[in-house]
Structure 1
Amino acid sequence: METAFLPTTWNIDQVVEDLNEHGFALIDDAYPLSYVHELAQECTSNLNSFRDAAIQNGVVSKIRSDHILWIDEDLKIASQHIELLDQFSKILNQNFYLGIKQVEAHFACYNAGEFYALHRDNPQQKNDRVISAVYYLHEEWQDDWGGQLHLQDKNDLWHIIQPKPNRIAMFRSDLMHEVLAAKHQRLSITAWLRSNADLL
């Protein structure tokens, strides 16, 4: 996949407008299907390395039950997605003066029955996460399989966002949200665009 430029399917103006007006934005058909397939393969081939997800400071909590694998340079396919988010952060900085300096990300796997209860990714501004971005990399999904993102926007309106394959859901990290219980294995990359280059 070409990483020099953002994909043409990313309607930059619309994303910026939606983030400004609602605090969240959706990008559908984000990548070529060939890349989606390669990414799904990279994710599933590493499922044995996933571990129980934790909240701040490595504390495993009952508010979430998913499994994760942090993305580093050895995961070359996923790293391309992170590079594009890093490029996109420069556009966000120009429009919103967010001071984003770094992207951190992990694969996430929600097996049947797994969930993530209501929370904020940046509670009381206690970390440097500014924008959260969830990319759904499973190649098939049905609406009755659960796993939706339940999100409160900046105007206090609630939304149910389906984990549609090849979709990116991007939102302010201080917004309340949860992942509803999945009824089928749900795969994604969760990324945070951070204002501090020193990752926790």
Structure 2
Amino acid sequence: MLNLLAYDNYLTEIELQGYSVIHQAIDERLISDLMADCYRINPHFTLAGIGRLNNLQVDDSIRKDKTYWFDGTSQAQVAYQAIMENIKTTLNRTFFIGLFDYECHYAKYTSGDFYKKHVDAFKGRSNRVITSVLYLNTPAQGGELVIYKHKSKEIEIIIKPTAGTLVLFESERFVHEVLPAINKRYSIAGWFRKNASISGIIDPPR
């Protein structure tokens, strides 16, 4: 279900530039199944929050997308997580970065929804190491992902949402944003994490 031709290049790109954009990375059938899963759970999408656990809050001046965290209730979710588990193993073998799990959610952007500039690693918690974004549909307009150069306001790359494209980038390194959607945009946002807790306690998800 993974495009092996594209798969061969992403490790080098992450090493050299900190990110990789893999076009047609995921089999069309799985993309279709994941979209069908989104339609199934559409009534259960909720306004996305900012922060984690006790610090979680909703602020629609910063982000307006709706999310649904994977819960393993569909074969499509299980198949996608298996692919990401394989990528996690490969990242660990290549970069020795100690990734121990992968968390993800569906993200739905309707007209006018956005996510302003931010980084994915929580302050004081550097457990999110590699961010992933998989696009499930190809909106005609809007919803582009903008990644900024490290420690700069200059744009590194603008990525147009295209079904099957997988984006991987270093979570702490890149400030990024999602521009306002015009047409409906579906994706899966995820994070490869390491355990940054002390005393043997496992970091909580989300």
The answer to whether the aligner puts 1:8 opposite 2:22 as a matched pair is no
CA distance in 1, matches of 2:123, 2:85: 24
Aligned length: 192
Deviation at 1:70, TM superposition (A): 0.3
What is the identity, as a one-letter code, of the residue corresponding to 1:65? K
- Partner residue of 2:99? 100
Deviation at 1:10, TM superposition (A): 3.6
- Partner residue of 1:122? 121
Q: How does 1:1-200 map to 2 (within 5 A)?
A: 6-12=2-8, 14-57=9-52, 58-61=56-59, 62-124=61-123, 126-138=125-137, 140-142=138-140, 145-154=141-150, 156=152, 158-174=156-172, 175-196=174-195, 198-200=203-205
CA distance in 2, matches of 1:158, 1:121: 17
SS of residue paired to 1:171? strand
Q: Residues 55-91 of structure 1, C-alpha deviation per residue, up to 9 Å, x if partnerless?
A: 1132112210000000011132022112211111111
Deviation at 1:11, TM superposition (A): 2.4
Deviation at 1:116, TM superposition (A): 0.3
Counterpart contact for 1:136–1:187, Cα < 8 Å: yes
Structure 2, unpaired ranges of 5+: 196-201
Could you tell me the TM-score, scaled by structure 1's length?
0.89
RMSD: 1.8
- 1:83–1:154 Cα change, 3 Å: farther
Deviation at 1:154, TM superposition (A): 4.4
Q: Residues 76-111 of structure 1, C-alpha deviation per residue, up to 9 Å, x if partnerless?
A: 202211221111111111221111010000000000
Counterpart contact for 1:71–1:79, Cα < 8 Å: no
CA distance in 2, matches of 1:11, 1:95: 13
CA distance in 2, matches of 1:30, 1:199: 29
Deviation at 1:124, TM superposition (A): 4.2
Counterpart contact for 1:72–1:79, Cα < 8 Å: no
Deviation at 1:122, TM superposition (A): 0.6
Q: Residues 98-144 of structure 1, C-alpha deviation per residue, up to 9 Å, x if partnerless?
A: 11010000000000000000000014452411000000011x332xx
